[in-house]
Homo-oligomer: A and B are copies of this chain.
Amino acid sequence: MVYPDTFEGFAIVDSAKWSEAEKYEFEPKPFEDYDVDVAIDVCSICGSDAHAARNGWGKTAYPLVVGHEIIGKVVKVGSKVTNFKVGDRVGVGAQSQACLECKLCKSNNEIYCTKLVHTFGSLYHNKDGTTTKSQGGYSNYCRIHEYFVFPIPEVYTDEEAAPFLCAGITTYSPLVRNIPTNLPEGVRPKVGIVGLGGLGMMGIQFAKALGAETYVFSRTDAKKADAIALGAEHFIATENEGWVKEVEFDLDMILCTANSNENFDLNTYLRALKIGGKWVSVGLPESPFTVSPRSFMANACFMGASHLGSHVEMLEMFKLSEEKGIKPWVETLEASFEGVKEGLEKCHYNKCKYRVALSGFQKAFN
């Protein structure tokens, strides 16, 4: 297939105009032996896209093409690529490189490799000594090491498949790593999911699929019906004072998908954990956590975080999802200036149920 040497995307150029993209041509990293070039069809919108567009972590270097829930078709493979051939439908998530040689990479923890490159906004250190800024999936093509490219089960449309690549793996990995597997026979693990947005929507379904009795925590009752439809067995509105009494000392783990820790009563949430239970945050708030030592001491609980998930977990996640019929709820918008704007804003203001996919990147740029 013929395609250009430089790629093109919808770039954000200024935090003050964080939802108003401009078309932007960029040079991909040099093509290497394990690389795969993908012609992008669909990219769904992750909270991180809006956060980075707004310079929420204070590290955004503009112009930036965001997007890391990518579905497309392989258009070129490097000489050492063995898993893919031209024409395959594939997915790309938020990680695009790791050393693949350190002890972390060799133990299915490549996501914690210190040489990690993120799909957008990071820096590739190329073999020829140059560096290339990584640009994301709101574009016509991407170039990625095959280890970070994934086959997509046929049962999913492109739009349905895309959110698995970040929202999916980000919730699947901490659940599968931390839901206890040593409970007495007949005792189901109890899992709490804080927040029902793009990540919560996936987390609820995975927690159920992994056998857990699932509790959803949200500020109001507004999303109760959706939570139940997604597989939750319990719904707790935290605007009701004393809500924690219902679950005190009860949950094996809580997965927090909230992106902010302002006005967030972490000390109360921790009381919902069983002795030794775990709070795992997958949001990345801008301000530090402040926690009283007494909160931990009351039930010997733990607080931690998780980042994306591994290659192996990605494959397992798709397998489980196909078996259990897990499916993201997705709205589709056109891959256009208007679509990017509407999608980023819907995402940032929590106005979608529960993911927006941008579709038609080939048409937009070719």
List B contacts of A299 (CB < 8 A).
112
In the bound complex, CA of A290 to CA of B275 (Å): 22
Tell me if A31 counts as interface (CB < 8 A to partner B): no
Q: Could you tell me which residues of chain A, from 285 to 340, have a CB within 8 Å of some CB in chain B?
A: 285, 288-294, 296-307
Partner pick for A303 among B177, B178, B276, B296, CB 8 A cutoff: B296
Q: Is B275 in contact with A107, judged by CB distance below 8 angstroms? A: yes
In the bound complex, CA of A249 to CA of B105 (Å): 12
Q: How far is the CB of A47 from chain B (nearest CB, A)?
A: 14
List B contacts of A298 (CB < 8 A).
112, 307
| Contact A288 B296, CB 8 Å, known A302-B303, A304-B302 | no
Q: Is B304 in contact with A301, judged by CB distance below 8 angstroms? A: yes
Q: How far is the CB of A325 from chain B (nearest CB, A)?
A: 28
Tell me if A60 counts as interface (CB < 8 A to partner B): no
In the bound complex, CA of A281 to CA of B278 (Å): 15
Partner pick for A103 among B107, B249, B301, CB 8 A cutoff: B249
List B contacts of A297 (CB < 8 A).
284, 305-307
Partner pick for A304 among B174, B261, B300, CB 8 A cutoff: B300
In the bound complex, CA of A281 to CA of B275 (Å): 15
What residue of chain B has the Cβ atom nearest to residue A282's Cβ?
B297
Most buried by B among A275, A285, A293, A304: A304
- Please classify how large the interface on chain A is, using the bins under 10, 10 to 19, 20 to 34, 35 or more: 35 or more
Q: Is B305 in contact with A112, judged by CB distance below 8 angstroms? A: no
Q: Could you tell me which residues of chain A, from 249 to 301, have a CB within 8 Å of some CB in chain B?
A: 249, 261, 275-276, 278, 281, 283-285, 288-294, 296-301
List B contacts of A283 (CB < 8 A).
293
In the bound complex, CA of A1 to CA of B278 (Å): 50
Main secondary structure on chain A at its contact with chain B? Answer: mixed
Partner pick for A281 among B104, B285, B293, CB 8 A cutoff: B293
Q: Is B293 in contact with A288, judged by CB distance below 8 angstroms? A: yes
Q: How far is the CB of A65 from chain B (nearest CB, A)?
A: 23
Q: Is B112 in contact with A275, judged by CB distance below 8 angstroms? A: yes
Tell me if A15 counts as interface (CB < 8 A to partner B): no
List B contacts of A301 (CB < 8 A).
304
Tell me if A109 counts as interface (CB < 8 A to partner B): yes
Q: How far is the CB of A353 from chain B (nearest CB, A)?
A: 27
List B contacts of A177 (CB < 8 A).
276, 300
Partner pick for A307 among B278, B284, B300, CB 8 A cutoff: B300
Q: How far is the CB of A301 from chain B (nearest CB, A)?
A: 6
In the bound complex, CA of A301 to CA of B293 (Å): 17
In the bound complex, CA of A302 to CA of B254 (Å): 13
Q: How far is the CB of A217 from chain B (nearest CB, A)?
A: 19
Q: How far is the CB of A185 from chain B (nearest CB, A)?
A: 16
In the bound complex, CA of A291 to CA of B292 (Å): 11
Residues in chain A within 8 A of chain B (CB atoms) = 103-104, 107, 109, 112, 174, 177-178, 249, 261, 275-276, 278, 281, 283-285, 288-294, 296-307
3 smallest beta-carbon distances between A and B, as pairs: A296-B305, A302-B304, A302-B302
